[in-house]
Amino acid sequence: MLSVGTDLIEIGRIRRLMENPRFREKVFGSGELSQLAAHGFPAPSAAADFCAKEAFAKAMGTGIWSFRLPDVQLLRMEKTGKPFLRLSGSAQKLAAGAKFSVSITHTEEYASAVVAAVGPAVEPLSDCEGLRTLRTMLKPRAAESNKGDYGRLLCVCGSEGMAGAAAMSIGAALRCGAGLVEAALPVSIYPIVASRLAEPVFTLLHPLPDGSLSADDKRVLSGAISRSSAILTGCGLGKNASVAAQVLKESTVPVVVDADGINYVAKHKYSLETCREPLILTPHPGEMARLLGTTAAEVQSHREEIARCFSSEHHVILVLKGAGTLVAAPDGRLYRNSTGNPGMAKGGSGDVLAGMTASFAAQGIAPYDAAVGAVYLHGLAGDFCAAEKSQSAMLPTDLLDMLPELFLKIGR
C-alpha cells in the first residue's frame, strides 16, 4: 500500500515559535535538536522538520496528536544531507512496519515536506457520521487538567457468578477516559474484579439473600449516586437488579441502563418516568422484546420504527443493538451504525459497549452523541479484532485491548 502526506508552513511562524525553549522541547527529538543546534537553529530547517511530522501524520491517515511529535524526527545524512525519518515510541507503533521516504524544500517564506509510506501502514478511517461525532466530542486534553475535569462515573454492576460483566464494563469505562470510576458491587465479587482492575474506587455492598440492599447499603449507594456525573447500571446485576430502582429514582445525572437493568425496567415501566435525567437504554432484540411485550422476531422486522417510537414515547436515548445498531433520540434523530461484525455476537460485548457509553456521558458529552460515538468505536474495535484474531476466536476482552490503538489512530 502506498500513502502520501504533504504539508506547507510559513517559515516566519516557526522562527517566532523557536524563540520559546518549551516549543523546541515539545516538538523536536534529541537528534533533530542536535543537528539544528550545530547550525544555529535555522528557521527554514526547523520549519521543514515540523512539516515532515505533519506530512507523516497525513500519510498515516491520522491527526498529528496521534503520536508524540519528538517520536518523528527528520534527520539529514552527514555526507550527503539527504533527509530521512527516524521513528520511535508511539510513531513507530503507528507506522506498523511501513517504510518511508521524505522530500523537503523551502523558499524564503515557506517550507514544505512530502512523506510517502509504503507497506503495511494503517489504512485511513472512512469518513462517516460515527467517526465525525467521535472526533468532535473527544477533544485533546488540556495540559493543566486533572481527573476532576473528566467526570466521575458510578458503575452499579455485577453479582455472584457475574463478576466478568462488572470487570468488562468497568474496564471499558476506564479505557474511554472517565477521570474517576467508582464501582459499587457486592463484596463477594470484589476480589475477582479488583484482581483485574486496579484503577476503580470500590464501594462494597452486602446484598441480602433476595438481592435487595439493607438500609445501610442504600445510604452508601445514595452517597455514591450523589457524587457521580453519570451512572451505569445493569451489567451482571442478576437478582440484584432491584438496586436499579434506587438508581433510577435518585439520579440527577445521565444513566446508562443495560442487561438486567433493562429487564427490571421491563417489569416496572413506571421507573422510566421517575428518572430526572435522560436515560440511555442499550437493549439487544430479546431485551427490546421484553420492554414491548412482543417477540424478538417482531423487533427485528421493524427495528427503525420501534427504536424511534420507543425513544419518543419514553423520552430516552435508545441503543437497539444488533447488525447495524441503531441509536434513536426523542427529537427524531436516528443513527445507523456501519461498523461491527458477527464475531462480536458473544456474551460480554454488550457490557463493553455499556461501559464505553457511560464513560463518555460522565465526561459531559451529550447522551445521544455519547451513544453514537461509543457504538461506532465499539464496532470499529470489533472489526480490527476480527482482522487480527478472526471472528471465531476474538473475545469481548480483546475489544478493550484494541481501544488504545484506535484512540491513537483517531488522534485522541
Determine whether 389 is an active site residue.
Answer: no
Q: Which of 58, 321, 378, 409 is catalytic?
A: 58
44 backbone φψ class: left, alpha, beta (φ>0; ψ -120 to 50): alpha
What is the SS3 assignment for 254?
A: coil
The pLDDT assigned to 124 comes to 57
Please state, in angstroms and rounded to a whole number, the distance separating the CA atoms of residues 177 and 363: 8
CA proximity to 255, closest of 157, 339, 347:
157
Number of Cα atoms under 13 Å in the Cβ half of residue 359? 28
Please state, in angstroms and rounded to a whole number, the distance separating the CA atoms of residues 412 and 409: 8
The H-or-E segment that residue 53 falls in is helix 43-60
- Cβ atoms of 292 and 267 within 8 Å: the answer is no
- Cβ atoms of 35 and 75 within 8 Å: the answer is yes
CA proximity to 156, closest of 173, 137, 131, 141:
173
Please state, in angstroms and rounded to a whole number, the distance separating the CA atoms of residues 293 and 302: 14
Determine whether 58 is an active site residue.
Answer: yes
The pLDDT assigned to 121 comes to 44
Domains in the chain, CATH or no CATH each: 2-118 (3.90.470.20), 129-410 (3.40.1190.20)
Q: How far is CA 183 from the centre of its chain?
A: 19
The H-or-E segment that residue 335 falls in is strand 334-336
CA proximity to 354, closest of 181, 170, 131, 194:
170
4 backbone φψ class: left, alpha, beta (φ>0; ψ -120 to 50): beta
Q: Which three three-digit cell numbers place residue 262? A: 433493562
- Cβ atoms of 412 and 135 within 8 Å: the answer is yes
CA proximity to 74, closest of 61, 60, 62, 91:
91
Q: What's the sign of the alpha-carbon dihedral 297, 298, 302, 306?
A: negative
CB-based burial label for 17 (10 Å; 0-12, 13-18, 19+)? middle
Q: Which amino acid is at 363?
A: Q
Q: Between 243-250 and 215-226, two packed helices, what is the crossing angle to 10 degrees?
A: 40
Q: Which three three-digit cell numbers place residue 353? A: 459497549
- Cβ atoms of 186 and 206 within 8 Å: the answer is yes
The pLDDT assigned to 339 comes to 94
CA proximity to 58, closest of 2, 125, 5, 116:
5
Phi first, then psi: give them for residue 110, nearest 5 degrees: -130, 150
Q: Which three three-digit cell numbers place residue 249? A: 429514582
- Cβ atoms of 400 and 172 within 8 Å: the answer is yes
Please state, in angstroms and rounded to a whole number, the distance separating the CA atoms of residues 58 and 338: 24
The pLDDT assigned to 276 comes to 75
pLDDT tens, residue by residue, 153-196: 999 999 999 999 999 999 999 999 999 999 999 999 999 999 99
Q: Which three three-digit cell numbers place residue 200? A: 476503580
Q: Which of 39, 79, 106, 321 is catalytic?
A: 106
Q: What is the pLDDT along the chain (412 residues), one digit of tens a residue?
A: 568 999 999 999 999 999 998 898 899 999 999 999 999 999 999 999 999 999 998 888 777 777 899 999 999 988 888 999 999 988 887 787 778 899 999 999 999 999 998 764 445 577 789 999 999 998 888 888 999 999 999 999 999 999 999 999 999 999 999 999 999 999 999 999 999 999 999 999 999 988 889 999 999 999 999 999 999 999 999 877 779 999 999 999 999 999 999 999 999 988 887 777 789 999 999 999 999 999 999 999 999 999 999 999 999 999 999 999 999 999 999 999 999 999 999 999 999 999 999 999 999 999 999 999 999 999 999 998 988 888 999 999 999 999 998 998 887 7
